[in-house]
Each structure stands twice: as C-alpha cells, then as structure tokens.
A and B are shown apart, each in its own frame.
Chain A
C-alpha cells in the first residue's frame, strides 16, 4: 500500500492539470457568452461525473488488486509518458510560460432570447471531458494505492482550489504555467505507472516503496537532460535556418 501523502499530492497535482483546462474552458466561454447557461452546464456536468464516480467506485471493489495494478499501472505509464514528453518539449521551448486562451476558439458573444444552448453544451462538454480524466486519475490512483479516500480528497480538492482561483482571478486564469505543471505531473504519473505495473507483475522492487523516490529522481534527471539537449539543439539549428 502506498502512503496517503504521496497519493494525495499526486492526485491533487494530476487533477489540477485537468482542472486548469476545465476552468479555462468554463471561464473563457462564460466571459464571452454570459454566465447563466454556462454555470447550468457546469452543474449538469458535475452531476454526470458524480454518477460515474459512484458507479466506478462500486465496480472497482470487486476487481483483484494484482491485475488491476498491471492494467492501471500500464495505462498510467502510457498516459504519463504523453505528458512527460510534451512537458519536456514545452518547458524546453517556452520555459515557465503559461497557456493562452486561443482567441480563435472563442464564440461570439450571445445576445439572443431564451436559453443559450451553445454556452451550456460548451461548458457541459468541458466539465465532463476534463472531469472524466480527473475521475480516472482519482479512481486509478486511489484503488491501486489502496487509498481511495485520499485520492478523492486530492482530486476534489484540486477542482475546488483551481475552480476557486478561476472564480476569483478569472481574468488571469489562462496564464497558469501549465507546461511546467504538465512536466511535473507527467513525471509523477510515469513514476507511479512504472512502479505499479511492475508490482502487479510480481516484481520485488529493491527498497520496497522507497523505489518510488528512486524512479522519480531518475525520471527528473531524464527530463532535465532532455530539456538541456532540446535547448542546445535549438540553439545549434537556429543560425542554420536564417
């Protein structure tokens, strides 16, 4: 069983990345089309997610932990590697720069009569799609580590904190440095994915749970080396393109 604090921190950070996307969509649509339909879309999306959490939570308790660790660990490893690679590329290219809401994605301000279904669907879709990813992170981490309660607190906490920040600071929410957060979370997901998948296979890690720290350091070192390599190559190639 993995400790409460590592699961809490990892699910909080992993969910925070999804929550940033979710809040960015909601704030962006709400700011351009008005808040009523957008907030109803948010509430409807959260309702769908609540049903999903209850359904998945009940189903997961009947699955044996060994095969679950292989499947979830393997999925986390493959999924984490996406963020790990993208995080390295983005941090190498932009440093700690944040995301910018693409003005091309913005809908024209809605001024018609009745209910704004476009605003509703956009926010509902954003909450459900990003929320499903939060649910998967929470359920997979929680079930594999045997710490579902801590994972739920981490995931829900991230959504509440990022949502609160988005509400208070919505003019600045699109400037959260997502590239750096993505690299950190990608490293954590890859670390836990490696650890759990191999533990599920029956591998005895040297140092037990302490191997997680070793893996994390190894992958952080890999990320740092790759960021340096990409930046160096960019500097070498840049004069040739002129």
Chain B
C-alpha cells in the first residue's frame, strides 16, 4: 500500500515536471523542472530499493545540471530568448513521433494482457531485508562479470575528455 502511494506520488511529480520542463519559456525554470523530474525518478529508484542507483542519480545530475545552469546563465541571452517564439517549427514531426510512441506502448500493454508470461515481465516481490546489498551487487557486476566492457567504456570517456581539453586549448 505504502509502496503504491509512494510510486504514484513520485511518478506524478516526474511526469508533471517533465511536461512543465518542455513548456516553460524561461530556460532556468526549465532547468529547475528538469532537476525536479530527475529527483522524482531517483525517488522511484529508492522506492524500488535500488538505493545505489538513487544516490548516483542525484550526485551525477547535481553536477551535470550545475554545469548546465552555468551555461544557460552565461551563454543564453534570457531577455531576448523570452520574447522570441520558440518550439513552433517541429510541430508536425513531434506529433507523429509522439503518436508512434504512444502506439508502441499501447500495443505492448495490449499484447502483455493477451499472452500471459510473454509480455511485460512481472517480478515477484521480495522482502527488503532479503535483497542483496545493492552497492555491493553493482560493484561485483561491474568489476567482476563485466570488467572488460566497463574498462573499454571508461577509456572511451577518457579519450573524449582529453579530446575536449586539447580542442579547447589555445594553440601556443
């Protein structure tokens, strides 16, 4: 019962603030609603007892959106941006994409109702104290089972970072 209420609470906040994020004119307000949506998603992770995902979501997005804020404040001329008409060019494309997505989700729900055991996987609930500790579980799967892909991904990120630094540096 409690879980259900919490889920609808967080999910409602996430959906509402995501909608507000794309409809606000002011870019800073959009950023605020973006972080609200992400925090609400973190809340859903917590409600699913994935506390490691919850905190990683918060820590990463705090840093990430912080930088976004700085960019918005420094690069976007807010007074000018507020007066322009925005988001009007891709109306029809957006409508088609949204309809396609809605259709896809609808079909998935419909088939999952028709064919038991084949559509959406239904997980059985486990008591919270019998779940494996999940920061340990994440560490084990990253550094044990998937060590090579993990290392490849981190080398890729490192290359991207060094590339950015080299490109940003002035030629002496």
Q: Do A and B come from one complex?
A: no
Which B residues are closer than 8 A to A by beta carbons? none
